[in-house]
């Protein structure tokens, strides 16, 4: 939470939101619903326009109907009950655009001036590229050459991942963007940073007297970050087969969550100070020196045919647009070290996979056990204390402590002090995209990734990718619907630990509540 984030105010000045890729999936599922939610919460005010841009022809009416259907399907607010729909819809326009043709951008510039006049917008422009990254360069150049950046207000570029395929391609992409925009105009989305509970990590750590003193290698035994998904690759086989879990999830979401857990307190609650601390964590990640070290610390798996909730599922290699001999990983588990004074010697275990039994994202901080042979621990097998942050889809925090078993026989049992945010705030928790679009529009870049973070994350990931290129013998197959390769359990067992069950897993919380 930054000083800026405290001001949940309306976007006072107004802006034009240009959605490139307006007929695509992201716009439909996330962007239009997010803009509508912001509108319903009076955060957008009245001085805004949304221009949908894509290649295919669409009339204004068709486009507004598409937007309405998307909101109806994916938004947390009920559009059916909205009597003022037309009032909202009139802010939406569609323009067919060939992004390789600068003339279309020139027309867009002229049209933008009309819109700015009509909606009293002082020249602020937010360009959201919901497009394949190969197109970012062409769009940026044409925005400049078409005159769209010659405006009295601010202009900002919001881009989606993947930001490159490796460090080299990311650098090239960055150079293209930087030849048009300054770093502080570029907002690189990692939608995990928009999630309520990921943002909450900072608050939990720095606003509570009893965590920060223990938040180091003297008291923490290990940290586990699990991001499990039930879905396979759906219709994204073409993209995913090139990316795999390493590039799709670890390079961004997983490492970003890790930085939030591991970073030092920033000197001020300012976006740059927070990102300075995050990048230091990435710079402190221990690099695996050899291919053997990669194989010893990073587990990769691929799902084979299996079943989930009684439904038979194909293996990854049988999925649409996937190479039938693919060695792409759909599961990744890794032991990562942050080599700095605070964390020296503490393993961070991360795991993510597709076609696992439940959809959940959780962070577990396992504290060191109290000395054995002292008082109660000499008689009982005491379980370690845990702090669990549930990110998704359930949101909450719980602390697991040891307490007395009720009754006169004595004994100790683990108890959970449980705060369930989802049950309290319910469906009204803002979606990640709402927060991120709103933040970009008011110039708060805290929860966007800065170039140095992206490049450090790629450097770390490239070392793993390089080792994997040399051999695929360490690829483990796991049946769809299982918890991934056994090797991921061994990884923790080697250090005397085990994965804590996540929400929805069989053993979950039964004992603890
Ligand atoms: C995306 C990945 O970034 O995150 C997807 O490309 C993945 O493969 C998705 O399914 C998971 O996001 P969430 O918010 O549903 O956990």
Q: 34 pLDDT exceeds 70? A: yes
pLDDT band at 419 (very low <50, low <70, confident <90, very high): confident
Residues 6+ apart with CB under 8 A from 190: 161, 252, 253, 256, 447, 448, 449
pLDDT band at 414 (very low <50, low <70, confident <90, very high): confident
Q: 371 pLDDT exceeds 80? A: no
Average pLDDT over residues 217-223: 98
Q: Which residues are part of a known binding site? A: 21-28, 55, 98-99, 161, 191, 195, 229, 248, 354, 359
Homologous superfamily of 3-160 in CATH?
A: NAD(P)-binding Rossmann-like Domain (3.40.50.720)
Q: Which residues are part of a known binding site for substrate? A: 191, 195, 229, 248, 354, 359
pLDDT given for residue 512 in this prediction: 39
Q: 391 pLDDT exceeds 70? A: yes
Nearest to 53 by CA among 119, 11, 13, 112: 112
Q: How far is CA 281 from CA 260, 270, 286, 343, in A?
A: 9, 17, 10, 10
What CA–CA distance (Å, rounded) separates 428 from 11?
Answer: 20
pLDDT given for residue 420 in this prediction: 79
What CA–CA distance (Å, rounded) separates 176 from 162?
Answer: 15
Does ligand 1 lie within 6 Å of residue 226's CB atom?
no
Q: Residues in the chain, how many?
A: 513
pLDDT given for residue 513 in this prediction: 35
The string of DSSP letters for 278-321 reads HHHHHHTBPPP-SHHHHHHHEEEEEEESEEETTEEE--GGGSTT
Report the DSSP pairing between strands 15-20 and 48-54: parallel
Instruction: Provide the terminal-to-terminal Cα distance of the chain, rounded to the nearest Å.
Output: 31
Least confidently predicted of 1-15, 252-266, 346-360: 1-15
Left if phi > 0, otherwise alpha if psi is -120 to 50, otherwise beta: which for 447?
alpha
CA-proximal residue: ligand 1, atom 5 (nearest): 248
What distance in angstroms lies between residue 59's CA and the mean position of ligand 1's atoms?
32
Nearest to 191 by CA among 229, 160, 221, 145: 160
Counting from 1 in the atom list of ligand 1, the atom nearest the Cα of 229 is 10
CATH 3.30.360.10 for domain 193-512: yes
The two structure tokens encoding residue 9: 């105010």
Residue 310: burial class (beta carbons within 10 Å; 0-12, 13-18, 19+): exposed
Least confidently predicted of 269-273, 289-293, 371-375: 371-375
Q: Which residues are part of a known binding site for NADP(+)? A: 21-28, 55, 98-99, 161
Q: Is 253 a catalytic residue?
A: yes
Contact 303, 480 (CB under 8 A): yes
Residues 6+ apart with CB under 8 A from 81: none
pLDDT given for residue 376 in this prediction: 67
Does ligand 1 lie within 6 Å of residue 418's CB atom?
no
Q: Where are the beta strands (DSSP E) in 354-385?
A: 360-367
The residue behind tokens 């937010």 is 126
Q: 35 pLDDT exceeds 80? A: yes
pLDDT given for residue 397 in this prediction: 92
DSSP, res 338: B
Q: 110 pLDDT exceeds 50? A: yes
pLDDT band at 119 (very low <50, low <70, confident <90, very high): very high
pLDDT band at 431 (very low <50, low <70, confident <90, very high): confident
pLDDT digits (tens, 9 = 90+) for 161-214: 889 999 999 999 999 999 999 999 999 999 999 999 999 999 999 999 999 999
- Give the residue extent of every domain in the chain: 3-160, 193-512
pLDDT given for residue 46 in this prediction: 92
pTM of the model: 0.93
Does ligand 1 lie within 6 Å of residue 455's CB atom?
no
Name the catalytic one among 253, 270, 380, 498. 253
- 329-350 in b/e form (b: 16+ CB < 10 A) is bbbbbbbbbbeeebbeebbbbb
Nearest to 470 by CA among 237, 286, 288: 288
The residue behind tokens 């990073």 is 298
Contact 499, 351 (CB under 8 A): yes
Does ligand 1 lie within 6 Å of residue 392's CB atom?
yes
Bigger pLDDT: 382 vs 40? 40
What CA–CA distance (Å, rounded) separates 409 from 210?
Answer: 31
Residues 6+ apart with CB under 8 A from 309: 481
What CA–CA distance (Å, rounded) separates 253 from 247?
Answer: 10
What distance in angstroms lies between residue 246's CA and the mean position of ligand 1's atoms?
13
pLDDT given for residue 506 in this prediction: 59
What CA–CA distance (Å, rounded) separates 471 from 448?
Answer: 35
H or E, element range at 402: strand 396-404
Residues 6+ apart with CB under 8 A from 274: 2, 202, 263, 266, 446
Bigger pLDDT: 383 vs 141? 141
Does ligand 1 lie within 6 Å of residue 248's CB atom?
yes
Exposure of 374 in the CB half-sphere (CA atoms within 13 A): 4
What distance in angstroms lies between residue 496's CA and the mean position of ligand 1's atoms?
31
Q: 259 pLDDT exceeds 50? A: yes
What CA–CA distance (Å, rounded) separates 260 from 291?
Answer: 28
Q: 8 pLDDT exceeds 60? A: no
pLDDT digits (tens, 9 = 90+) for 458-505: 999 999 999 999 989 999 999 999 999 999 999 999 999 999 999 877
Q: 229 pLDDT exceeds 60? A: yes
Q: 231 pLDDT exceeds 80? A: yes
What CA–CA distance (Å, rounded) separates 188 from 256?
Answer: 13
Counting from 1 in the atom list of ligand 1, the atom nearest the Cα of 227 is 16
Q: 147 pLDDT exceeds 90? A: yes
Averaged pLDDT score across all residues of the chain: 92
């Amino acid at each position: 939470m930054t000083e800026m984030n405290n001001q949940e105010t309306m976007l006072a000045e107004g802006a034009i939101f240009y959605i490139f890729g307006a007929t695509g999936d992201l716009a439909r599922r996330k962007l239009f619903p997010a803009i509508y939610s912001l509108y319903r919460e009076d955060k957008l005010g009245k001085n805004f326009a949304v221009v949908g841009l894509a290649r295919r022809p669409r009339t204004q009416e068709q486009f507004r109907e598409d937007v309405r259907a998307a909101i109806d399907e994916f938004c947390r607010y009920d559009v059916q009950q909205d009597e003022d729909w037309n009032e909202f819809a009139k802010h939406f326009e569609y323009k067919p655009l060939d992004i390789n043709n600068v003339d279309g951008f020139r027309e867009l510039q002229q049209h933008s001036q009309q819109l700015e006049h009509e909606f009293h917008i002082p020249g602020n422009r937010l360009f959201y590229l919901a497009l394949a990254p190969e197109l970012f360069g062409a769009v940026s150049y044409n925005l400049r050459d078409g005159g769209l950046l010659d405006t009295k207000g601010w202009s900002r570029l919001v881009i989606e991942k993947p930001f490159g395929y490796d460090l080299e391609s990311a650098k090239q992409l960055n150079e293209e963007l930087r030849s048009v925009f300054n770093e502080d105009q570029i907002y690189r989305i990692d939608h995990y940073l928009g999630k309520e509970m990921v943002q909450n990590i900072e608050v939990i750590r720095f606003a509570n007297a009893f965590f920060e003193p223990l938040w180091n290698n003297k008291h923490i035994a290990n940290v586990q970050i699990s991001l499990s998904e039930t879905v396979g690759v759906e219709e994204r086989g073409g993209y995913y087969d090139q990316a795999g879990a390493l590039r799709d999830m670890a390079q961004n979401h997983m490492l970003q969550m890790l930085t939030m857990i591991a970073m030092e307190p920033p000197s001020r609650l300012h976006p740059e100070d927070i990102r300075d601390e995050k990048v230091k964590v990435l710079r402190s990640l221990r690099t695996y020196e050899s291919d053997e070290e990669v194989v010893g610390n990073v587990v990769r798996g691929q799902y084979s045919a299996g079943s989930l909730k009684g439904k038979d599922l194909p293996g990854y290699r049988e999925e649409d647009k996937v190479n039938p001999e693919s060695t792409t990983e759909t599961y990744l588990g890794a032991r990562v070290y942050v080599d700095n004074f605070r964390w020296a010697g503490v393993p961070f275990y991360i795991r993510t996979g597709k076609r696992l039994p439940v959809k959940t994202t959780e962070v577990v901080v396992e504290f060191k056990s109290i000395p054995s042979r002292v008082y109660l621990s000499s008689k009982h097998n005491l379980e370690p204390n845990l702090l669990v942050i549930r990110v998704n889809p359930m949101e909450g925090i719980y602390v697991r402590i040891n307490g007395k078993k009720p009754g006169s026989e004595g004994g100790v049992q683990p108890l959970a002090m449980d705060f369930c945010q989802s049950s309290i705030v319910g469906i009204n928790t803002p979606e990640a995209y709402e927060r991120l679009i709103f933040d970009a529009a008011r110039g708060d870049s805290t929860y966007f990734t800065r170039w140095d973070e992206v490049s450090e994350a790629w450097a770390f990931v490239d070392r793993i990718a390089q080792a994997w290129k040399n051999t695929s013998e360490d690829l483990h197959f796991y049946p769809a619907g299982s918890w991934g390769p056994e090797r991921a359990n061994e990884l923790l067992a080697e250090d005397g630990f085990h994965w804590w069950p996540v929400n929805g897993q069989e053993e979950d919380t039964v004992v603890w509540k």
